[in-house]
Amino acid sequence: MNIFVANLLSMKGAETKRKVYKLMLSNDDIHTFEYVIDSLVKACGHSHEQAEQCAYLIHLKGKCDVKRGSLKELTNILTALSKLELTATIEK
């Protein structure tokens, strides 16, 4: 095996070991569907359709993982959602 292939394999192994976290948004009785949808579009960069699907899942199940990614990326989105007075947490 040449050095180039070995480096690619080690990089791939490092990527699979990288922790992926979930940003969970919880249901509340305060905010409207449209407010939650608009907030997800702004904070997460979702399309309107994706944000709408998340809002319905949140309503039906009580919470939904609205975004997956690195802890740093999700922390920034969590802060944005908190400023919009939505309740969110980050889970492993």
The CB density around residue 77, as the number of other CB atoms within 10 Å, is 20
The model scores a pTM over 0.95: no
pLDDT band at 18 (very low <50, low <70, confident <90, very high): confident
Of 1, 2, 76, the closest CA to residue 45 belongs to: 76
Distances (CA, A) of 18 to 25, 40, 56: 23, 25, 30
| pLDDT (0 to 100) of residue 2 | 46
pLDDT digits (tens, 9 = 90+) for 39-90: 999 999 999 999 999 999 999 999 999 999 999 999 999 999 999 999 999 9
The encoded tokens of residue 46 equal 């979702």
Query: What domains appear along the chain, each with residue ranges and CATH number?
Result: 20-91 (3.30.1390.10)
59 close to 33: Cβ distance less than 8 angstroms:
yes
Residue 14 has pLDDT above 70, yes or no: no
